[in-house]
Each structure stands twice: as C-alpha cells, then as structure tokens.
Structure 1
Amino acid sequence: MSINDTPQIGPVIQRERKARHLTLEQLASRSGVSKSMLSQIERSEANPTFAVLWSLTQALKIDFTDLIAGGVAHRQANPIELVSVAHTPEIKSPEGAWKLRILSPPALAGRMEWYEVEITPRGKLESAPHAPGTFEHLTAWSEGLVVETEQGTQELSSGETARYRADVVHQITNTGTQAARALMVVLYE
C-alpha cells in the first residue's frame, strides 16, 4: 500500500464480524450503524466517518489502529474490557477552559454517560439544556467547584455530589486557583 492509498477497512470489518459469528443485523444493533451502511462499508462502497468507525471498533472490541493498519491482532478473549488512556476520547473547549474525558461506552450514549471533568482555575463549563428529564450528578474530586442552574447555586467540597436538572441552562465553575476535577454522570429519561 502506498502512502496515498486509503486503508481497506471493509474487508477487515467483514472478517472480524464473521470471526465473531455476527450477522449484519447483530453488528448494526451493537454499533448503532445501519445494516445498509455496514453492507456498503464491507463492500468498500462507502467512506465511513470517524464516528462510524469508532462505533464499529467498539462493537467488535478491536483497536482502531489495528483496523486502519488493515489487520487485527487476534487476542484471547478477556472478560474485562480495558480502554487505554490513548483510546479514551476527549472533548476540549476551544479556549482551553475545560476538558471532558468520555469514560462511558459509546453504546450508552444518549441514555447514560459519564465523564472525567477538568476545569482550569476561574474556568467555566457552560451547557445548554439537554433533553427533557435529564439529570447530572457531579462528584467533586477537588475543591472550588460551583454548580449553577436557573433553579439555584451550589458550592461543592471535595467528595461531595451535586444532583441537578440538566434540561435547563446550567454551568459548572471552578472558583479556585488550581485545576478542579470531578466525575460527572448524565442520566437521560
């Protein structure tokens, strides 16, 4: 393969799906990728997005880098799934005020999600309302965090958990002079 060739991922996806004795329907259900899109990817007729590839690698329990390289190193099944730091997705604010590390599996997105939150000194994580019935649970791992919604304001000490409606405008502020960290769990109804 030359440097300008794109990786042939369709055959790898198909081989890994069949090695796990999965039908297209079963992989579609596990990954959230439609059966027709999966079929097109396997036949190299579609150019999937990063998000689609990520969902497929998570559903098949293969490393993204192995997929791109065109081959998957077969490992013995492990009853404990391990996600390395390098494979943990992050979301960062454009101005660098906060960072979210996505700790929950992609299959739970939109139902239950959890994040490691880090906010710079005097930084603020502002959020528009989520879907109706959504709640956030924020457990402070350090001092200086303040949760504010249109319904009130609450300071947190290290180890404390704030539970609040997230279907309204809300924000988390670090009033401290050092980076603040927390665990955030988001529950959707």
Structure 2
Amino acid sequence: MVKEQAGQVLAANLRALRAQHGLSMSELARRSGIAKGTLSQLESGTGNPTIETVFSLSNAFNVPVSTLLTERTSPDVVLVRSAGLDVLSSNAVDLRMLRRLDLTDTVFEMYDQRVRPGQTQESQGHPGLEHVVVTSGQLLVGPPDAPYTLGPGDYVCFPAATPHIYRTADSSPVVSVLLMQYPADQAGSVLASCVIR
C-alpha cells in the first residue's frame, strides 16, 4: 500500500471509530495524549503517523492496531510485496503490516519488523500478546529490566500489557517477524503469560 493510500485508510478508520465511540476530537486527544491538531491532520489523511501515535490511538479506542491501518478484505490468496507497504517508524523500529487475520475470538496482526542498532523502542504496554521470531541479528526484547536475548530462529511470546522494550544486542540490525494477538472483543480478561525461558 503506498503512503497516500495508507494515510487515507487510517483517516477513514479513525473517523469511523471516533463516530462509533461517540468521541469528540477533544476527548480523543485527552484519551490518546495526541494533540488535536495532529488528530485533525490524521483524520484528513495529511498526517504522518508514528508507531507511538498509532499505538496511542489503538489504546484510546481499545482496538488492535490493524483496525486502524487495514481495509477489510477476504481474498482467497494474499500476496504482499514489501515494496508496497507503508512503514511505521520510531527512533529504533520500522514496522510493515503484512496481514490481519480475524478469527472467531482472536485477531492476529503480522508485521515485518526491523530494529536499528543503537536505539531502544520502549512501550508502556497495550492489550494482547506479542509473538516475536528473529530471522537475523541478536534482539533484546521484553521486560526493560530483564529482556530476553533472541538470535536467528528464536521465538518468544509475552503479555504486551506490561512495559517492554526492543533493542539490538550488538551493532548489527535485527530482522524479525512480530505477531500481535488480541482478543476479538478486546473485553476479555488479562491474558496469561506464555513466555518460555
């Protein structure tokens, strides 16, 4: 999806969610911590959202990130070319959403995730579970005070509701697959940890 199309998808989803929840722009700004001017730009399709912005909106609406970033389609075959994907970037991470899967009681989002050396991506937490598989490089991921070290082929799953980080273990970049798992209704109880040490 080219950047302009991604911006229009986010704008349409943002308008629809705000109407669905009956929120004024001021109330959404309060809940998300995002300035009204920035929200206005995002709703008009002229904004440039960051990872932090999209996750703040996800938390404010209590919906998966993919609810904000994807159009609903159900083709029999899905082919995604990375060159056509919009990139959500932060100081340390580039995310490309590859797919959203809506199952009976669970929503999965699949991302191509690249972590740049020398920076740390911090999250204060959000709904769901994070599943991470490293394909190249050495990744530190999980609780800020005791992150897990993953190398190529390693996998970890942890509750996303608690603070967590992403950081390279050395000076090389990391390529990984991030799978976000959410309860479909976002109203379920806190998910149990599935971390395997």
TM-score w.r.t. length of structure 1: 0.53
Alignment of 1:48-67 (within 5 A): 49-50=44-45, 58-59=71-72
Q: Quick one: which amino acid aligns to residue 129 of structure 1?
A: G
In the TM superposition, residue 102 of structure 1 has moved relative to its aligned partner by 0.8
* Unaligned segments of structure 2, at least 5 residues: 1-14, 21-42, 46-65, 184-197
- Shift in Å at residue 90 of structure 1? 1.4
Question: Residues 122 and 175 of structure 1 are in contact (CA less than 8 Å); yes or no, is this contact kept in structure 2?
Answer: no
- Structure 2 residue identity aligned to 1:127: S
Aligned to 1:81: 78
The residue number in structure 1 matching 2:179 is 185
| Structure 1 counterpart of 2:95, one-letter code | L
What residue identity is the alignment partner of 2:159?
R
- Cα root mean square deviation, aligned: 3.5
Bigger-Rg structure (1/2): 1
Cα distance per residue 1:21-71 (max 9 Å; x no partner): xxxxxxxxxxx959x99xxxxxxxxxx85499x75xx4468xxxxxxxxxx
Aligned residues: 124
Query: In the alignment, what sits opposite 2:95?
Result: 100
2:111 corresponds to 1:115: yes
- Give the corresponding residue for 2:121: 125
Per-residue CA distance 1:108-141 (angstroms, 9 max, x = gap): 8x9221111111112222112112xx11111011
Counterpart contact for 1:145–1:155, Cα < 8 Å: yes
Q: Which residue of 2 aligns with 1:40?
A: none
Which 4+ stretches in 1 moved above 3 angstroms? 48-52, 58-61, 105-108
Cα pair 2:130 2:159 within 8 Å, conserved: yes
Q: Please, which of 78, 86, 91 is the counterpart of residue 88 of structure 2?
A: 91
% of aligned pairs identical? 20
Letter of the 2:81 counterpart: S
- 1:137 aligned counterpart, secondary structure: strand
Look up the match of 2:7. none
